Amino acid sequence: MSTSPVRALTDGWVVAKRNMIKIKRVPEIMVFVLVSPIMFVLLFAYVFGGAIDAGPGLDYKEFLIGGIFAQTVVFGATFTGASLAEDMQKGFIDRFRSLPMARSAVLIGRTGSDIIYNVVSLVVMALTGLLVGWRANGSVLDTLAAFGLLLLFAYAISWVMAWVGLSVPSVDVINNASFIVIMPLTFVSNAFVPAKDFPAALKPVVEWNPVSAVTQAVRDLFGNLPDGQQVPDAWSMQHPVLYTLIWVVLILAVFVPLSVRQYQRASLK
């Protein structure tokens, strides 16, 4: 039976509110959301920052924050998969399916509520970055566009993790699987080290990594790249905003229908 987009969004909003109410009952979720970004900013700014050369005319703290933003929203997407895996284990998915609601509502609500978590993370990271010396030197519109691009990219990744969460048998599996995939995705990028410092064999991987693109894009929008910096050779780094948006469209086009189909299969088991 087909469901209108309005019905799907309305039902999804109800599920999203359910997920947000869960924070009151499990406050440790928000503690993790707040503490993790602060830890990464302080760790890389003061422990590793002195050993990394961001490039001529560029302070490492300003170079770092864009990468930390990108890493945090990507890691935050694993919360989507873990929550869905937990709901499957506890039988909530079967209960949802028995209700007169759109088939996609659970996924829309889950991925939608995680936008709120990412907004909180970005606010905390921005405040922490300001404390350690980072500044957004771009215009207000460019700064807002940078945060919007981060949230859009995180939303797309959350659909990937939604499909994974519905495909694995337990929360432990998704935590381990996501770590194995996301850790190299973020560290084999320009999030913490300039692409020029990678070995020649890895440099193309770094330059075409979507995490590198979103990182480069937000650095540019924040005005954290010095004037006169050498333009990268890779098209992806020359047009990071467009390249990031292409990835967002591709990920959503593939994983939204895959996730909805996997939800149907999982709930029938």
Helices 5-25 and 105-132 pack at an angle, to 10 degrees, of 50
Domain count, the chain: 1
Cβ proximity of 190 and 229 under 8 Å: no
**Cβ-count burial of 223 within 10 angstroms (0-12 exposed, 13-18 middle, 19+ buried)?**
middle
Residue-level pLDDT at 247: 96
Query: Which pair of tokens denotes residue 20?
Result: 């947000």
Distances (CA, A) of 58 to 37, 51, 63, 247: 22, 14, 7, 28
Report the candidate in 217, 206, 103 with the shortest Cα–Cα distance to residue 152: 217
Query: Which pair of tokens denotes residue 165?
Result: 């969460």
**Rg value, the chain, Cα:** 19
Residue-level pLDDT at 10: 76
Q: Is the dihedral of CA 21, 26, 27, 31 positive or negative?
A: negative
Which residue matches tokens 């999203």?
A: 16
Residue-level pLDDT at 1: 44
Cα 228 from chain centroid (whole Å): 30
The domain of 148 spans: 5-226+233-267
Per-residue pLDDT of the chain (269 residues), as tens digits, is: 445 667 667 777 777 777 677 666 666 666 766 787 788 788 877 776 666 666 666 777 788 888 889 988 888 888 788 777 777 777 767 677 666 677 677 888 888 888 888 888 888 888 888 888 888 888 999 999 999 999 999 999 999 988 888 887 677 777 777 777 788 888 899 888 888 888 888 899 999 999 999 999 999 999 888 665 666 789 999 999 999 999 999 999 999 999 888 887 765 55
What's the pTM value of the predicted model, to 2 decimals? 0.86
Cβ proximity of 136 and 143 under 8 Å: yes
